[in-house]
Copies of this chain bind each other. A is one copy, B any other.
Amino acid sequence: MSTADKLIGEAGRLIVNAGYNGFSYAHLAERLGIRKASIHHHFPSKVDLVVAVVEQQRTVIRQQIAALENDEPDAMAQLLAYVDYWKRCIEDQSEPFCLAGVLAVELPALPEDVGVAVRGHFNDLGEWLKRVMALGVRQGAIQLELEPETSAQFFQTAIYGAMVMARAYDDPGKFNFVVDAFLARMRTDRS
């Protein structure tokens, strides 16, 4: 793995733990056993680095979404795959919060370029969820009382709210508990 990739990975972990202003080139250099100046060689400024971190995650997530939409025809199964991903990440604390979520909370204080990338992620996710919800309604797995848009936002809210709960109560299990309660209210008896 290239140094640039290691930097992106480790920076992501630091941001998830402490936010944009909670990590520094010095921390990052120490973690990788290199000097600060070497980071500037790969990412001239902190904004460059953080944008790269967010964009890399967006790319990965878009790929996973595309694969899911290709391979899994069942809408509810797609949603459960997404939820399971986060359940695992939060349970084993390998990624205890969504990177873009942490940054979103700090949004008003972030450099504009970072903000653009973060909003981009939320849009990517929101658009996919709209498609899945519409599909789920057609398949009879999701209650059709509401517009797909509403269900999508409902679901996204649940995911991010559940992450905040897990962190605030220092209890990873809270994520599973709360998300499952939400899913139950979204499904029909057919799913």
A residues with a Cβ closer than 8 A to B are 17-22, 96-97, 100-102, 104-109, 118-119, 122, 126, 146, 150, 153-154, 156-162, 164-165, 167-170, 174, 177-178, 181-182, 185
Given A19-B106, A109-B17, A101 and B178 contact (CB-CB distance below 8 Å): no
- Chain A binding site: helix, strand, loop or mixed by DSSP? helix
For this chain, the copies found in one complex come to 2
Report B-chain residues with C-beta under 8 Å of the C-beta of A21: 18-19, 21-22
Q: Which of B107, B146, B161 contacts A162 (CB 8 A)?
A: B161
Asked if residues A122 and B169 are in contact (CB atoms below 8 Å), the reply is yes
Contacts A19-B105, A101-B168, A126-B169 supplied; 11 other A-B pairs, CB < 8 Å? A18-B108, A19-B21, A104-B167, A107-B167, A108-B167, A122-B169, A150-B177, A157-B178, A158-B158, A159-B161, A160-B168
